[in-house]
Amino acid sequence: MTTPPSPPDYMRSRAAIETVWRIESPRIVAALTRITGDIGTAEELAQDALVIALEQWPVHGVPDGPGAWLMATAKHRAIDLIRRRANYARKLEEVGRAMETSTESSADEVDDHIGDHIGDDLLRLIFVACHPVLSAPSRAALTLRLIGGLTTHEIGRAFLMPEPTIAQRIVRAKRTIADKKVPFAIPAPGELASRVGSVLEVIYLVFNEGYAATAGADWMRPELCAEALRLGRLLAGLMPAQPEVHGLVALMELQASRLRARASDTGDPLLLADQDRRRWDRLLIRRGLDALRRAEALGQAPGPYEVQAEIAACHARAASVADTDWERVAALYTVLGHLSPSPVVELNRAVAVAMAYGPSRGLEIADRVASSLPGYVQLPAVRGDLLFRLGRLGEARAEFARAASLTANETERALYRARANDCG
Amino acid sequence: MRYLMLLSGTNPETAPPPELFEAIMKLGGEAAQAGVLLDTAGLLPSATGARVALAGGQLTITDGPFTESKELISYALYEVRSKEEAVEWSSRFMKLHRDLWPGWEGKTDILQVMGAE
């Protein structure tokens, strides 16, 4: 036997091996869940494969197809497990019947089928992790763990929660899935749309947790946005015929394209109008517009994510605030208001209408939703701006003062106070 | 973390086998499917390009080919969680060349893109 050339130390390192495992683990866990029927068992088996790799690769070198190696190793552990279980069941039932052959063949069958439909397995796993029997935060934690391949420590850090809390949330979620006998299956056509919606909700929740960090010192956590984008792109590859999947990907790519421009040099939030558009990420804008075209090309009535992406695209295409197609933005908010009615959408529509058709038209809309948005900072902020532009300075001053008193953010408060002072 | 990967190399006398292109397409598909490959394209030989150089206050414009022994062949932009992930995807790409185009030698330089988290 010839000794293969010794690979450089880097490739034998723990970090390199764990990286391969991290890339491959979602597909391995998905395939093993199909075989064993249990997510927890599948994760343990995949973890076993990592342990074996960490023992063997530094000594024998990294195999040529490390992903296939990990999959095969985990698969063999799964088959061993099935055989042991079958043996156990057989012993319970008495030895002597022709169980040996049937057990053999069932293990071989499993073996043959593992290579097939790996993408389908991954999709099944996503649907299980995002099943509506789980709360949205549980779905998010489980999805990041199983599909994102994040550790509980990383998930805890991302959501600013103690690791044990996340670990417990994941354990409970897996137990609920087992107790409720959630099938490892692609939903039937009749419930597909709502189940896809449940998956998209989780991905967008993760994205927003990063985009507008609801807690903590940072007001953005870009790595969570990146994670959500990765999940979205993965889903778009698995379900290319679902327009809302492309719609959400488009929305996230376009919003993420502004991440670099959303904070000033001193770290303060910058509104869309104040951002240096040269800092927008052109690559993500292009990808977002491409995803939007894919959604449109499917030729169905646009859903809420696609419409929001269309709005984001209007901003992405515009070189400046003045250059923005505000009539189109206003029309899109009208469509969005029909698809998912909310006073916040109406307030956004008020801003767009004011830009397109003048402040008094916008103010009418803002006034209509005022009673539905008590304590919402943006309401007096928008009304103040529109009143200011109409020259109704006294009323504008009162609105800005109210906005300043409502916000918890020091930077925002200073901004509204300054605007109140500008009213004379 | 975004990484730019620049592939350069020296082509052997033999033409690249079609299996290599197929394998590259397949790997690219996997990376795109995993949500990590943002953009990639091949580059024509430098004979079709040009160079604008600045030295001693003097701009010099020359047409290709450039005299370097290794030609830039392609670029790719990856969005990954660590440098190790970038290295892993790149290693897979290089192994395809090793396995499918005997005699080919080259390298991928992996550079982190500034400010793109």
Instruction: Give the DSSP per-residue string, A30-42.
Output: HHHHHHHS-HHHH
* Partner residue facing B34 (CB), from A18, A226, A234: A234
Q: Please state the φ and ψ torsions of residue A265, each to the nearest 5 degrees.
A: -60, -25
Pairing of strands B50-55, B58-63: antiparallel
Nearest CA of chain B to the CA of A223: how many Å? Answer: 7
The pLDDT, as a whole number, for residue A8 is 56
The pLDDT, as a whole number, for residue A110 is 45
Distance of CA A348 to the CA centre of its chain: 24
| Cβ contact A304:A339 at 8 Å | yes
| Cross-chain Cβ contact B35/A259 below 8 Å | no
| Cross-chain Cβ contact A233/B115 below 8 Å | no
| Cross-chain Cβ contact B84/A260 below 8 Å | no
pLDDT by residue for chain B (117 residues), tens digit each?
999 999 999 888 888 899 999 999 999 999 998 999 999 999 999 999 999 999 999 999 999 898 777 889 999 999 999 999 999 999 999 999 999 999 999 999 999 998 755
* Partner residue facing A19 (CB), from B79, B85, B99: B85
Query: Which amino acid, one-letter code, is at A226?
Result: A
| Cross-chain Cβ contact B117/A223 below 8 Å | yes
pLDDT above 70: residue A300:
yes
CATH architecture observed for domain B2-112: 2-Layer Sandwich (3.30)
Rounded to an integer, what distance in angstroms lies between the CA atom of residue B114 and that of residue A128? 37
Q: Which of A223, A233, A282 is the mutation pick for testing B, counting most B CBs within 10 A? A: A233
| Cross-chain Cβ contact A233/B116 below 8 Å | no
| Cross-chain Cβ contact A16/B32 below 8 Å | no
Chain B residue numbers with beta carbons less than 8 Å from the beta carbon of A11 are 91
pLDDT digits (tens, 9 = 90+) for A210-242: 887 555 556 567 888 999 999 999 999 999 999
| Cross-chain Cβ contact A22/B85 below 8 Å | yes
Closest among A390, A379, A376, A314 to A351, alpha carbons compared: A379
Q: Please state the φ and ψ torsions of residue A85, each to the nearest 5 degrees.
A: -65, -40
Q: Which of A24, A246, A283 is the mutation pick for testing B, counting most B CBs within 10 A? A: A283
DSSP string, A69-123: HHHHHHHHHHHHHHHHHHHHHHHHH-S-STHHHHHHHHHHHHHHHHTTTHHHHHH
Nearest CA of chain A to the CA of B35: how many Å? Answer: 5
pTM of the model: 0.88
Segment 21-40 of chain B within 8 Å of chain A by CB = 32-36, 38-39
| Cross-chain Cβ contact A231/B91 below 8 Å | no
| Cβ contact A251:A309 at 8 Å | yes
Beta bridge partners of residue B59, listed in sequence order: B54
* Partner residue facing B35 (CB), from A18, A64, A231: A231
Chain B residue numbers with beta carbons less than 8 Å from the beta carbon of A222 are 117
Rounded to an integer, what distance in angstroms lies between the CA atom of residue B29 and that of residue A190? 30
Q: Which two tokens stand for residue A9?
A: 């130390």
Give the position of tokens 């299980």: A128
Closest among A187, A180, A178, A185 to A41, alpha carbons compared: A178
Query: Which amino acid, one-letter code, is at A417?
Result: R
When mean pLDDT is compared across A314-323, A405-414, B106-115, the lowest value belongs to A405-414
Q: What average pLDDT does the structure give for chain A?
A: 87
Rounded to an integer, what distance in angstroms lies between the CA atom of residue B110 and that of residue A290? 26
pLDDT above 80: residue A266:
no
Chain B residue numbers with beta carbons less than 8 Å from the beta carbon of A232 are 35
Q: What is the ipTM of this complex?
A: 0.89
Q: How confident is the model at residue A282 (pLDDT cuts 50, 70, 90)?
A: very high
The pLDDT, as a whole number, for residue A101 is 45
Chain B residue numbers with beta carbons less than 8 Å from the beta carbon of A18 are 84
Chain A residue numbers with beta carbons less than 8 Å from the beta carbon of B112 are none
Chain B residue numbers with beta carbons less than 8 Å from the beta carbon of A287 are 38
Segment 21-50 of chain A within 8 Å of chain B by CB = 22-23
* Partner residue facing A19 (CB), from B33, B38, B84: B84
| Cross-chain Cβ contact A229/B79 below 8 Å | yes
Chain B residue numbers with beta carbons less than 8 Å from the beta carbon of A237 are 32-33, 35
DSSP string, A217-254: S-S--HHHHHHHHHHHHHHHHH-TT-HHHHHHHHHHHH
pLDDT digits (tens, 9 = 90+) for A374-399: 889 999 999 999 999 999 999 999 99
Cis peptide preceding B65, ω within 30 of 0: yes
Domain borders along chain B are 2-112
Q: How confident is the model at residue A6 (pLDDT cuts 50, 70, 90)?
A: low
The pLDDT, as a whole number, for residue A4 is 54
Chain A residue numbers with beta carbons less than 8 Å from the beta carbon of B32 are 233, 237
CA distances (Å), origin A289, targets A9, A333, A341 = 43, 18, 25
